[in-house]
Amino acid sequence: SSVVLGQTDLHAAFGGVVPEIAARAHAEKLDHCIEQALADAALTLRDVDAIAVTSGPGLIGGVLSGVMYAKALSAATGKPLYGVNHLAGHALTPRLTDSTPYPYLMLLVSGGHCQFLLVKGPEQFERLGGTIDDAPGEAFDKVARLIALQQPGGPAIENAARTGDPKRFALPRPLLDRADCDMSFSGLKTAVLRARDKVIGEKSGLSREDQADLAAGFQAAVVDVLAEKTRRAIRVYLGKNPAVRTLCVAGGVAANKAIGSSLETVAAEFDCAFVAPPMVLCTDNAAMIAFAAAEQSQVRGPDDLTLSARPRWPLDTDQPSMLGSGKKGAKA
Ligand code: KG4
Ligand code: ZN
């Protein structure tokens, strides 16, 4: 079973996630989620082998609520405790859904993250590149706000883009002049802002058609950047002669049909299999964390009660941190 409780409604009035509300909502709902998960699986706590919990990276209040709860449950039941990196959960999902063999290339695209990972084992991740500023989901959300579409911005923009002309506004494809796999989406967002302001300046408002054209232009730019950078990441990946060639995608932005089908085409260009887990397992969920702990339990022991919640926790600690990752070190 995998019980997912969203909090979108609680934050809607504030135009973004409010950390304190997020932490409290976690603490209030954990009992209920665990009862529900056990009921759905027709099991009791006694039947459970181990307790897995996301112990980072992320907004610390929510992570802390989960870690404290899991520790208490582990202490009370004597079951082993596994702290799991949230990104490892996403990155290992193709093994849960498709038994994808290692090593595979993963493009992780969500509201908070964007990176190419070479997934070599349950705890072996090599980052080939990532965003140096905004994540694509964040850009979708911000652009939706700019052109008066609702939140979450991803589905709203995808919908509006269907009737739009992607060529009406000339928007940039940032960092394509750089040979590496790094990406940037912040300048693209600013370009949409300028294009919007120009239209408003001329017509003192945005028509539905303007909205659709801006949405289509923005989405087309994201599609182009992700496709071209994925080609580069695939070349690096194939340079390592993997036994099986697989491109995987995960994270909320993978729900976007234009992005998904463009990545599928890119995979085919290189004769790679393409794995995109079903939406419920692409967006944040409990099953991916339980599964990641099960995979990791094959290569390491459980954590003890000193397990701590980590706001920042890069998967690949050998790489220098990305630009913009702040004074406290790399976010991911
Ligand atoms: O992975 P996720 O559920 O949560 C985390 O960020 O961890 O991703 C949420 C993000 C949001 O920014 C949302 O706008 C974006 O995924 N998203 C989409 C689509 N559906 C959700 N972006 C583009 N197109 C979509 N259809
Ligand atoms: Zn996530």
Cβ 211 under 6 angstroms from ligand 1: no
Task: Report cis status (omega within 30 of 0) of the bond before 57.
Answer: yes
Question: How far does the centroid of ligand 1 lie from the alpha carbon of residue 155, in Å?
Answer: 8
Q: End-to-end distance of the chain based on CA atoms, in angstroms?
A: 28
Closest ligand 1 atom to 282 CA? 1
Q: Domain 101-279 sits in which CATH superfamily?
A: ATPase, nucleotide binding domain (3.30.420.40)
Q: Residue 318: its pLDDT value, please? A: 79
Side-chain-side CA neighbours of residue 322 (13 Å): 26
Nearest protein CA to atom 18 of ligand 1, as residue: 154
In the chain, which stretches have pLDDT less than 50?
Answer: 324-329
Strand order of the β-sheet with 104-109 is 124-130, 114-121, 104-109, 246-250, 273-275
Structure tokens at 107: 């493009």
Cβ 57 under 6 angstroms from ligand 1: no
Task: Give the start-to-end residue ranges of the domains of the chain.
Answer: 8-88+281-330, 101-279
Closest ligand 1 atom to 138 CA? 12
Q: Residue 332: its pLDDT value, please? A: 56
Cβ 115 under 6 angstroms from ligand 1: no
- Determine the residue of 253, 262, 280, 281 to mutate for testing ligand 1's pocket, defined as the one with the most ligand atoms within 8 A of the Cβ atom: 253
Residue 152 is given by DSSP the state S
Q: Residue 329: its pLDDT value, please? A: 47
- Asked if domains 8-88+281-330 and 101-279 share a fold, the reply is yes
Q: Residue 330: its pLDDT value, please? A: 52
CATH top-level class of 8-88+281-330: alpha beta
Q: Residue 326: its pLDDT value, please? A: 45
Q: Residue 253: its pLDDT value, please? A: 93
Q: Residue 328: its pLDDT value, please? A: 45
Q: Using CA atoms, how far apart are residues 115 and 182, in angstroms rounded to an integer?
A: 8
Q: Using CA atoms, how far apart are residues 253 and 9, in angstroms rounded to an integer?
A: 20
Q: Residue 321: its pLDDT value, please? A: 65
